[in-house]
Amino acid sequence: MSADVHQFLCRSDNFGLLLHDPTTGATAAVDVPDAAPYLKILSTKGWALSDILITHRHGDHIDGVPALRDAFPQAKLHIPAREAERIEAVTGKAHAHLREGDGVHVGSLRGQVIETPGHTLGHIAYHFAKEHLLFAGDTLFSLGCGRVFEGTMAQMWASLQKLAALPPETRLWCGHEYTQANGRFALSADPDNGALQKRMADVDALRAQGAFTLPVTLAQELATNPFLRASDVDTFADLRERKNKA
Ligand code: ZN
Ligand code: FE
């Protein structure tokens, strides 16, 4: 294993994520809902923060950035170009404004930016191909997807299709522990899916122990997530609208 990912809970249902490169010691925060848990874990692990990678402008993903930057002023802030102004109003000036295909280096780890508009217009995901890691923010959740707040259904569908086309062994990390609620809706939409029934039994057992349901492979999501399994954009849009009302 060439990269460590440490996952923890922030606020009520946001994931905090730290990506650590054991080769160089570089460590990146992926979104910062709240600085306190990040500072605690960095100190426990003895890791120095080198980078902050932001997926989108919502407060539950950036509100902790200023306090984290105060503690690690040398850490480089990477943000989506299309919402740079609104993010920098909260976080201060960023090191990089990222667009489709841009590279992000965390020590010796090489990530690539995938633009995934829909939840917000500037939303981006980070893919580390060699390590088979995907940080999808609020675009793709396990057994679900983000709400379409700013983009069109067609944009969100296209964004999900881009993520679904990554290698199936890719491990998905996302912005929220929503899997159990997503799974209840997924089962109502796709009740005869045996892989989904099995995944939900696992999810219920994990949550009963207080364990997280992420990461999960894209292969697993392709077999179980109704938003990825929709046959076309109209089916996707219908599903997303039903979920909004569920
Ligand atoms: Zn969001
Ligand atoms: Fe969020």
Which domains does the chain carry?
A: 4-177 (3.60.15.10)
pLDDT at 146: 98
Compute the distance between CA of residue 160 and CA of residue 210 in angstroms, rounded to an integer: 28
pLDDT at 246: 84
Which residues, 6 or more positions from 3, have their beta carbon under 8 angstroms from its beta carbon? 19, 20, 21, 22, 109, 128, 131, 133
State the ligand closest to the CA atom of 13: 2
pLDDT at 158: 98
Burial of 149 (0-12, 13-18, 19+ CB in 10 A): middle
Residue 6 is a catalytic residue: no
State the ligand closest to the CA atom of 14: 2
pLDDT at 1: 57
Residue 58 is a catalytic residue: yes
Tokens of 231: 């046959």
Question: What distance in angstroms lies between residue 197's CA and the mean position of ligand 2's atoms?
Answer: 26
DSSP 8-class letter at 48: P
Q: Which of 20, 21, 51, 58 is catalytic?
A: 58
Question: What distance in angstroms lies between residue 59's CA and the mean position of ligand 1's atoms?
Answer: 8
Q: Which of 20, 56, 123, 127 is catalytic?
A: 56
Q: Chunk the chain into consecutive blocks of 10 residues (it has 246) and report each block's average pLDDT, rounded to whole numbers.
A: 92 97 98 98 97 98 98 98 98 98 98 98 98 98 98 98 98 98 97 98 98 98 98 97 92
